């Protein structure tokens, strides 16, 4: 592995040819020694850089970047982003509790999406005073009206419409087609807005959509925005003037690195959204997740064994699919690099975890410099949907998490203990 294989814009690099991989100014070897492995390491600097890219790309328009907290819900990261003006996109009462814990002052910048909000979750959000409910069905709007009347709190809502736009991505994370469970058919939206008009507890505040995740091209966002703009014009003719348009998240990154230019990507995305949005004078809401945090994070693991079965070589690490499920669930590619590269020729290996499933792998038939038991490897681009989708499968303790800020590091979540795990159980 040569130094050039870790391409920018990742915050992980080998400062000198013979040195260990660093996150910014901090050595991952030192972090592993201090906190053990598996360990999630995030660069605060890169997370803030990415937020700034978004904020700059939309600087000419009234806008709010609402970080999609499901992507990485670490309280420290929520606090970091909201401290720079970000709002938050939530999909559960639990995520709202995270905002209330980490950044209560940001609650007025929260948008609440999700197809299955319960009455209790709606009550929590109404009481907290969030910015807007992204309502995904006529039945949910009815429930929202009932709860709002009960609590005597006016509910600002946006209908989440399904623009029926195809976006090239993994089928599990595509959401903008009529056959998906999300949102309401855009052709029914006008009627639903009209039906809410007479209700004093509902305020038709915005319109929202989200067509999927890990979408690399800008066109589908533009195409969806076109359709929603048409709806906006219809609404205006009907005397319904909305204050927000929420374009959801979904902008993808390049997991294969190459020559990925993050700033150009955001600008291209902004141009597509802007040109289709036209003269709308309200506030644009954006819900990026992956783009802000994926490349800022790595999962650091230690090699336990290297074993040969016939023609195959397996590198068995102390991290597993319970720590990072993306390869198993979406056949996702994550680049893997040794923390201290060895001089010899690369080998073709499978990188796997200790869990009792063949789906427990990080890479199949991957060219990797030789590693030995005790070596550290970094699984890159793991800041998004990594820890957030982790589990305790095989009664494994979830990793600790560290945030690197310049030369400083902060443990933002300690490693779980067996006591944590067993506490809720009765026998």
Give the CB-side neighbour count of residue 149, counting CA atoms within 13 A: 8
Is 66 an annotated catalytic residue? no
Q: In the bound complex, what is the minimum distance in angstroms from residue 68's beta carbon to ligand LLP? A: 4
Helices (H) and strands (E) in the chain, counts: 12, 21
396 binds ligand LLP (CB under 6 A): no
CB atoms within 10 A of CB 342: 13
Q: In the bound complex, what is the minimum distance in angstroms from residue 249's beta carbon to ligand LLP? A: 3
> How is residue 337 written in tokens?
């690099």
Of residues 38, 222, 249, 297, which one binds ligand LLP by CB under 6 A? 249
304/332 with CB nearer ligand LLP: 332
Q: In the bound complex, what is the minimum distance in angstroms from residue 293's beta carbon to ligand LLP? A: 8
Q: In the bound complex, what is the minimum distance in angstroms from residue 149's beta carbon to ligand LLP? A: 26
Q: In the bound complex, what is the minimum distance in angstroms from residue 173's beta carbon to ligand LLP? A: 4
Of residues 113, 132, 317, 390, which one binds ligand LLP by CB under 6 A? 113
- The Cα 7–Cα 51 span in angstroms is 20
**67, β-bridge pairs:** 88
**Residues 6 or more apart in contact with residue 130 via CB below 8 angstroms:** 90, 96, 107, 108, 110, 111, 112
Whether 399 contacts 415, CB under 8 Å: yes
133 binds ligand LLP (CB under 6 A): no
3-state DSSP assignment of residue 405: strand
| Beta-strand pair 361-368/39-43 | unpaired
Q: Which stretch binds ligand LLP (CB under 6 A): 8-16, 199-207, 209-217, 397-405?
A: 209-217
248 binds ligand LLP (CB under 6 A): yes
68/132 with CB nearer ligand LLP: 68
- Residue 380's region, left for phi above 0, alpha for psi from -120 to 50, else beta, is beta
Give me the residue label for tokens 């070596």.
Answer: 375
289/370 with CB nearer ligand LLP: 289
Window 211 to 230, contacts with ligand LLP (CB under 6 A):
213-214
Count residues contacting ligand LLP (CB under 6 A)?
A: 20
- The Cα 317–Cα 303 span in angstroms is 4
68/82 with CB nearer ligand LLP: 68
Q: In the bound complex, what is the minimum distance in angstroms from residue 288's beta carbon to ligand LLP? A: 5
Give CA angle at 325 (322, 327), nearest 5°.
140
- The Cα 306–Cα 283 span in angstroms is 54
Q: Which stretch binds ligand LLP (CB under 6 A): 10-18, 56-64, 72-80, 249-257?
A: 249-257
> How is residue 419 written in tokens?
């006591």
Of residues 21, 64, 65, 71, which one binds ligand LLP by CB under 6 A? 71
Window 14 to 53, contacts with ligand LLP (CB under 6 A):
none
Of residues 227, 326, 366, 398, which one binds ligand LLP by CB under 6 A? 326
Per-residue binding string, ligand LLP, 251-290, x by CB under 6 A, is x-----------------------------------xxxx
Give CA angle at 353 (351, 358), nearest 5°.
85
Window 141 to 200, contacts with ligand LLP (CB under 6 A):
173
CB atoms within 10 A of CB 327: 21
Q: Which of 139, 356, 418, 419 is catalytic?
A: 356
- The Cα 310–Cα 305 span in angstroms is 16
Q: Which residues are the active-site residues?
A: 356
List contacts with ligand LLP (CB under 6 A).
68, 71, 89, 113, 173, 210, 213-214, 248-251, 287-291, 326, 330, 385
């Amino acid at each position: 592995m040569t130094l050039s294989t870790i391409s920018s814009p990742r915050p992980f690099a080998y400062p000198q040819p013979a040195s260990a991989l660093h996150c910014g100014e901090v050595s991952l070897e030192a972090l592993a020694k201090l906190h053990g492995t598996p360990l999630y390491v995030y660069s605060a600097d890169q997370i803030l850089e990415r937020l700034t890219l978004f904020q700059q790309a939309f600087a000419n328009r009234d806008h709010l970047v609402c970080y999609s907290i499901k992507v990485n819900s670490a309280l420290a990261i929520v606090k970091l982003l909201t401290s720079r003006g970000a709002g938050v996109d939530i999909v559960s009462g639990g995520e709202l509790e995270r905002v209330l814990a980490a950044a209560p002052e940001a609650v007025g910048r929260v948008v609440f999406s999700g197809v299955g909000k319960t009455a209790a979750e709606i009550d929590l959000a109404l009481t907290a005073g969030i910015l807007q409910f992204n309502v995904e069905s006529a039945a949910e709007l009815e429930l929202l009206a009932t709860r709002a009347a009960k609590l005597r709190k006016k509910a600002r809502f946006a209908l989440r419409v399904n623009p029926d736009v195809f976006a090239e991505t993994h089928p599990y994370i595509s959401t903008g087609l009529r056959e998906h469970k999300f949102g309401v058919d855009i052709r029914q939206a006008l009627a639903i807005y009209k039906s809410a008009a007479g209700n004093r507890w509902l305020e038709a505040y915005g319109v929202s959509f989200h067509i999927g995740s890990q979408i690399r091209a800008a066109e589908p966002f533009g195409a969806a925005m076109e359709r929603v703009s048409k709806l906006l014009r219809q609404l205006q003719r009907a005397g319904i003037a909305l204050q927000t348009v929420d374009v959801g998240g979904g902008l993808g990154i390049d997991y294969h690195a190459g020559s990925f230019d993050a700033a150009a990507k955001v600008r291209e995305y902004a141009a597509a959204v802007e040109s289709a949005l036209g003269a709308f004078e309200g506030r644009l809401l954006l819900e990026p997740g992956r783009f802000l945090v994926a490349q800022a994070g790595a999962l650091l693991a230690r090699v336990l064994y290297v074993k040969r079965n016939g023609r195959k070589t397996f590198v068995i690490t102390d991290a597993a699919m319970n720590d990072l499920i993306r390869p198993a669930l979406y056949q996702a590619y994550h680049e893997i690099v040794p923390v201290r590269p060895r001089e010899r020729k690369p080998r073709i290996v499978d990188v796997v975890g200790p869990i009792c499933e063949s789906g427990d792998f990080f890479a199949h038939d991957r060219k990797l410099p030789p590693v030995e038991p005790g070596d550290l490897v970094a699984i890159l681009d793991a800041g998004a949907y990594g820890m957030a989708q982790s589990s305790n499968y095989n009664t494994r303790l979830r990793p600790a998490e560290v945030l690197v800020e310049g030369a400083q590091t902060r443990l933002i979540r300690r490693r779980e203990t067996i006591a944590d795990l067993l506490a809720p159980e009765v026998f």
